[in-house]
Chains A and B, each alone.
Chain A
Amino acid sequence: MDPMAAIRQTFFQECEEQLAELEAGLLAMENGEADSETVNAVFRAVHSVKGGAGAFSLEDLVGFAHVFETALDHVRAGKLEPSPEVLKVLLRAADVLADLVRAARDGGSIDESRAQKLADELRALNPSAEAEPEDDLSGLEFQPVHAAFDFDEDAPASPSENVFIIKFKPKPSLYAKANEAMLILRELGSLGTVETSCDISELPLLSELDPEGAYLSWTIKLTTPKSEDTVREVFDFVTWDCDLDIVNEAAPQGEPASTADNEVAALLARVLNGLDASPAGDEAPESPVAAPVAVLASALTDDAEPAAAKPAAAAKHAAEAKHATEAETKAVATIRVDLDRVDRLIDLVGELVINQAMLAQRVTEAGLARASNVVIGLDELEQLTREIQDSVMAIRAQPVKSVFQRMPRLVRELAVMTGKAVRLVTDGEGTEVDKTVIERLTDPLTHMIRNAIDHGLEKPEARIVAGKPEEGTVRLSALHRSGRIVIEISDDGAGINRPRVKQIAIDKGLIPADVQLSDEEIDNLIFLPGFSTASEISDISGRGVGMDVVKRSIQALGGRISISSRPGRGSTFTMSLPLTLAVLDGMVVTVADQTLIVPLTAIVETLQPKAGEIHGMGGSARVISIRNKFTPLIDIGRELSYRANVADPMSSVVILVETEGGGRSALLVDAIQGQRQVVIKSLEANYRHVPGIAAATILGDGRVALILDVDAVIANAQAKDLPVEASEAA
């Protein structure tokens, strides 16, 4: 790749990080949790975006970032109070900046009036209120480095030569800043013809010489086609650290400079020698240490070669290079790796796990003693394989922060659109989960947050009437619980309006009018396909995406979602997701001579049914009575068409599973073989989607086993055996 294109890519990656940092910092400031380092980091974020954007000539971005940066600079300097109003503007400016970055990256455009409006708002925050002296260079003491090396192209139109008499007397501070009179003379020499004389009259005796002093001054006669400005630029870095007098002798008849100083002439020749050398091969005096002394020494004696100590220095340098590598290695704590490589590694480790299982099986089949060396070695191998697998998974694990940090902006925009006051509180941002899961979390989370603000929270007036604070709170939290990640979205709004939800479901023909439903069941109606609180369909959540879609995408991730709601107090949506999509703990079962895997997370218990517990429901539908509660019984073998007739429950095993709605079903299988971790292989990618099957895996003996999609199987069964309400209490 073209190196600049690669850097451009880095720039946009970095922008995303800076933008996240910016938003996080501004939010911390809004919550009054910001220290000065946060404010600095916020400033730096915008500054950095501006710097990079400048390098790529992204003018819109630079312009906006500049105005933004100026406002932040005032905050940083304590001239602008970071009040809630100010922070609102800053946060929205951060959103605009993010849009501009994305537009610059993807080549799109953004709503210019919005950017303009925010730029104006930012300018209005300026404490001095008068127009900012935009990039005004006139007031600067310093002049930027202009092309001081524009050898010919900038030559004045008239070919006439200027003759400058330059009196240059460095002060000790010039050397203290590692500037070097010699280099300045060298640069003057590059502009034209020079005649130089060195004044050594102030040189003290060697015994009185202060190595950090400055005793030499020069008079240089420079004959050059360049302008006085160009000549002055040579002294740009040292203006404050020397006495300088530049006179342009209109006619080239100035008093001829003394050429008596042979030493200086020699010095200058050497200096000029170094001029054409490339930096790689530059043989000019090597050591800048005690530079004034070096110059002095050269001026006094012909053969005092400051580079005499060079070989020793070179050897030292080589030794130091090693140190540097170490220092750098220590500082770089992370590396960036192409995700494909990690995925490949994960695949390979999956193969290793399968292979290890195969080997274990062969060893068992060979009938080796449990205490044999082979078996013991194999156990160790299994342990190691597990550890490798966990470590490899950890590489891909990321904190949910990357998803969570997109939400504050969403909340701000929704608050504006709905006219509600909303505060977003996040918790557990550091909770880690596999990247494959993270990537698919954004959409469901976005939708649920929309839902919480649009449907959950009341308008400020209604909240005041209800005796609640005007500002509603939406809480987003993540935590690890028994090998899964649990994400909760809760609001302190009005809760689910159950009579209305039920009525809507009846009106839409989703449930019979006379059905008796528990509160929990009513709440779960909002997950039904086709359900929508259509009477208040809005721009925000009425985008054709219902909670059923959310539920399906969570399920597709091997997750579950549930609701709990209290009228007047708010609702909480809880998602429970696997930490990775690559492996799964499953129960290996046999159904009609087929081996299937039931995800362990779905299983509540397993039991051997007794004669009196099974009841027919008409047709082939049956229920099982477990602790006085009837649960629909689903024969997996028949459900997946492995057999035509229903199995005899008495010679089968029942697996009680929890469905995503919180209901329970009983699955009938022939036998349970055991429990194990399996590597998930996509069935869709390798074959095609099969209803009721979530994925496939490879068993220890090399056979393919299907992983049951518990919820899909139950949904299919219920669709066929109509008596859905069979689960009602007896």
Chain B
Amino acid sequence: MTKTILTVDDSRTMRDMLLLTLSDAGYRVIQAEDGMHGLEVLAGEKPDVIVTDINMPRLDGFGFIEKVRHDAEHRAIPILVLTTESDAEKKDRARRAGATGWIVKPFDPTKLVAAVRRVAA
């Protein structure tokens, strides 16, 4: 069965790239524009993996991950964080919030798919 990936990113460019890369790899992709929107989408979906940005309006990546991890229905979904190379502290914070893993931005399509595959059950 086709796996579904939810991407959460406020940048249209990034959303488009994630969509292209992940659908090319055979995934079904659903998208949200920020953490808040991500939670709304989750209300009606149960993706296999979530890929989320950190810097977003309304609800950032940290808040989003925390909320997902406190949601009984979605807590077990692997969440990958898109991080920039110099964000050691952010990565740590994301991990403490409950991130499953991370993808370095700008991402390489192969590595993105590899990271998704790595956490997808």
Contacts and interface: CB of A to CB of B under 8 A. Distances in A.
A binds B: yes
Interface of A: 3-4, 6-7, 10-11, 13-14, 37, 40-41, 43-44, 47-48, 50-52, 54-55, 135-137, 139-142, 144-149, 176-180, 182-183, 187, 236-237, 240, 278-280, 282, 284-291, 314, 317, 320-324, 326-328, 330-331
12 contacts: A6-B16, A40-B57, A48-B13, A135-B85, A140-B88, A142-B102, A145-B115, A180-B78, A280-B27, A288-B78, A289-B76, A327-B40
Contacts of B92: 141-142
A288 B77 contact: yes
Interface in B39-68: 40-41, 43-46, 48, 55-57
A323 B26 contact: no
A149 B111 CA distance: 8
Interface in B2-47: 2-3, 10-14, 16-17, 20, 25-27, 30-33, 37, 40-41, 43-46
A324 B4 CA distance: 12
B121 A285 contact: yes
Given A282-B3, A321-B45, A178 B77 contact: yes
A514 B31 CA distance: 74
A244 B26 CA distance: 34
Contact of A176 (B26, B31, B48, B69): B69
B27 A287 contact: no
Contacts of A179: 78, 100-101, 119
Given A176-B98, A178-B75, A137 B114 contact: no
A3 B18 CA distance: 12
Given A10-B16, A240-B95, A279-B27, A327 B44 contact: yes
Interface string B83-107: 0111010011001001111111111
A613 B74 CA distance: 87
A148 B113 CA distance: 11
Contact of A180 (B44, B117, B121): B121
A137 B86 CA distance: 7
Interface residues of B, number: 62
Interface of B: 1-3, 10-14, 16-17, 20, 25-27, 30-33, 37, 40-41, 43-46, 48, 55-57, 69, 75-79, 84-86, 88, 91-92, 95, 98-107, 110-111, 114-121
A190 to B, nearest CB: 10
Contacts of B25: 279
Contact of A55 (B48, B69, B107, B110): B107
Given A14-B12, A331-B37, A288 B88 contact: no
A237 B102 contact: yes
Contact of B57 (A41, A282, A288, A321): A41
A237 B101 contact: yes
Given A11-B13, A52-B11, A324-B45, A177 B98 contact: yes
Nearest to A239: B95
Listed from nearest, the 9 A-B pairs whose CB atoms lie closest are: A323-B44, A54-B106, A237-B101, A280-B26, A11-B13, A55-B106, A324-B45, A52-B13, A178-B78
Nearest to B23: A3
Contacts of B44: 320, 322-324, 326-327
Contacts of A279: 2-3, 25-27, 116-117, 120
Contacts of A148: 114, 118
Given A142-B102, A144-B104, A177-B98, A135 B86 contact: yes
A52 B14 CA distance: 7
A49 B17 CA distance: 14
B10 A177 contact: no
Contacts of A322: 44
Given A137-B85, A324-B44, A330-B40, A44 B118 contact: no
B114 to A, nearest CB: 4
A41 B11 CA distance: 12
A136 B25 CA distance: 32
Given A142-B88, A288-B78, A280 B2 contact: yes
Nearest to A62: B106
Given A51-B106, A290-B76, A282 B11 contact: no
B96 to A, nearest CB: 9
Contacts of A285: 121
